[in-house]
């Protein structure tokens, strides 16, 4: 006896592409998917039977790269950029990440929870099951930990937390980036891990952030603590970030606009997922496209994410992120949906439980009022979500 079954549904299971099963039944028991298949093969019974009325059911979305917990916003920098300043110039002039750091340090844990929970509403109504949240706007021990605690208190989605202490050099370490990396590796990361606040470790490897050598030191510290790594790689320049991520068997390398073919090959060999972030590309008026055809050719799984953050991607919509990936990066709608389901789950190392409609996976799925799954990436600013099912 199953707990509940949904009849009269069309499924995009996202197994091997859309993985369509028309006129399907989908059952759940104990918070897990307990049966999935064509309705005419369902020979069981369930305590509750729901009529999906021809809706499409897809796995809940996985947004695998966000900076959702932060204080303040940077609308004024948006204005500056439109008057001609570049993102790098603003960052060098003490704006950028460092200004969000000031606001975040001044915010209490409760304030961080309230503002992030408010933003998270849009992810929930668009059918999101999992959101990754990074630290990195504290850059001191207490604020980094406070951000991670706040992230863990968010409700309505499963949260995966990533430690990004190496996001920028804070003012008090100005000109002493190596000393800051020592502090991150020796004090902040171990304290966060001791409180069990860290699922993965990330670094911003970039001309305006940290070098390869500094990234390596953070990755070695993560390895000693038994944590998987991810990397902000090759966003503004090719520092060989993708290859470095692959060397550490990173879960993902993210951004990748400037990644070379050899970086892509290394990712393929290492099983590292590519995370593309069309929101930042769009918002920063970037023109260099990530190496999509090389990623396809080498079979690197492509995930997509919002990169929600106040500086380079104030994007609050997984659905819009998918549309942008199709228009800006020429992903197909099928690839875009895989990017926000199975490959998003891969980028977090949780694909055994999330990302497809398969037996045994978490019963987190969404009913959509659409005629074909590709519509979700096609429409701009629509939200045909009918119902979000969380753990059955």
User: First and final CA of the chain: distance in angstroms?
Assistant: 14
Closest to ligand DI6 by CB, 13 vs 104, is: 104
Residue 312 interface partner, choices Fe ion, ligand DI6, none, CB cut-off 5-8 Å depending on type: ligand DI6
- Nearest residue by C-beta to Fe ion? 307
How many chain residues are in contact with ligand DI6, going by CB under 6 A? 12
Sheet of strand 61-63, all strands in order from the earlier edge strand to the far edge: 61-63, 128-134, 158-166, 200-205, 229-233, 252-255, 273-276, 302-304
- Nearest residue by C-beta to ligand DI6? 311
Half-sphere exposure of 357 (CA within 13 A, CB side): 30
Q: Does 167 bind ligand DI6 (CB under 6 A)?
A: yes
Give the residue, chosen from 28, 33, 97, 337, that forms a contact with ligand DI6 under the rule CB under 6 A. Answer: 97
Binding mask 199-238 vs ligand DI6 (x if CB under 6 A, - otherwise)?
-----x---------------------------x--x---
The CA distances from residue 280 to 201, 309, 330, in Å, are 21, 9, 16
C-alpha to C-alpha distance for 67 and 57, rounded to whole angstroms = 28
Minimum distance, C-beta of residue 103 to Fe ion, in the bound complex (Å): 17
C-alpha to C-alpha distance for 260 and 243, rounded to whole angstroms = 9
Site for Fe ion in 306-335 (CB under 5 A): 307
The answer to whether 259 touches 253, Cβ cutoff 8 Å, is yes
Contacts of 134 (CB under 8 A, 6+ apart): 65, 66, 67, 161, 162, 163, 164, 167, 202
Q: Residue 57 corresponds to which tokens in the numbers above?
A: 């059911």
Closest to ligand DI6 by CB, 100 vs 128, is: 100
Binding mask 296-335 vs ligand DI6 (x if CB under 6 A, - otherwise)?
-------------xxxx-----------------------
Interacting stretch for Fe ion, rule CB under 5 A, among 7-15, 94-102, 301-309, 382-390? 301-309
Identify the helix (H) or strand (E) that includes residue 51.
strand 46-51
How many chain residues are in contact with Fe ion, going by CB under 5 A? 1
Binding mask 47-86 vs ligand DI6 (x if CB under 6 A, - otherwise)?
----------------------------------------
β-bridge pairing 56-59 and 2-12? parallel
Enumerate binding residues for Fe ion (CB under 5 A): 307
Q: Which residues bind ligand DI6 (CB under 6 A)?
A: 96-97, 100, 167, 204, 232, 235, 280, 309-312
């Amino acid at each position: 006896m199953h707990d509940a079954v949904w009849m009269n549904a069309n499924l995009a299971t996202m197994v091997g592409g859309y993985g369509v099963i028309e006129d399907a039944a989908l059952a759940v028991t104990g918070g897990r998917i307990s049966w999935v298949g064509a309705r005419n093969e369902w020979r069981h019974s369930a305590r509750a039977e729901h009529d999906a009325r021809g809706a499409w059911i897809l796995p809940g979305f996985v947004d695998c790269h966000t900076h959702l917990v932060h204080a303040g916003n940077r609308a004024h920098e948006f204005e500056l950029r439109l008057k001609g300043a570049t993102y790098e110039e603003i960052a060098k002039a003490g704006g950028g990440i460092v200004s969000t750091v000031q606001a975040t340090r001044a915010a209490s844990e409760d304030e961080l929870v309230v503002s992030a929970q408010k933003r998270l509403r849009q992810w929930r109504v668009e059918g999101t099951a999992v959101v990754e949240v990074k630290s990195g706007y504290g850059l001191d021990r207490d604020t980094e930990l406070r951000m991670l605690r706040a992230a863990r208190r968010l409700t309505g989605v499963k949260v995966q937390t990533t430690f990004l202490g190496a996001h920028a050099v804070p003012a008090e370490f100005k000109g002493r980036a190596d000393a800051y990396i020592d502090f991150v590796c020796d004090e902040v990361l171990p304290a966060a891990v001791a409180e069990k606040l860290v699922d993965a470790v990330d670094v911003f490897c970039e001309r305006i952030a940290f070098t390869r050598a500094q990234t390596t030191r953070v990755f070695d510290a993560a390895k000693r603590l038994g944590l998987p790594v991810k990397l902000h790689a090759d966003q503004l320049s090719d520092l060989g970030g993708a290859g470095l991520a692959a060397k550490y068997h990173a879960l993902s390398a993210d951004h990748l606009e400037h990644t070379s073919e050899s970086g892509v090959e290394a990712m393929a060999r290492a099983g590292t997922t590519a995370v593309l972030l069309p929101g930042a590309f769009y918002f920063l008026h970037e023109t260099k496209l990530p190496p999509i055809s090389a990623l396809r050719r080498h079979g690197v799984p492509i995930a997509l994410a919002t990169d929600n953050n106040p500086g380079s991607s104030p994007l609050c919509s997984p659905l819009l992120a998918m549309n942008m990936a199709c228009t800006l990066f020429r992903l197909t709608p099928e690839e875009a949906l895989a990017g926000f389901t199975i490959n998003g789950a891969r980028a977090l190392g949780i694909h055994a439980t999330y990302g497809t409609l398969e037996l045994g996976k978490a019963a987190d799925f969404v009913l959509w009022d659409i005629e074909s799954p590709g519509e979700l990436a096609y429409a701009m600013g629509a939200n045909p979500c009918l119902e979000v099912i969380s753990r059955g």
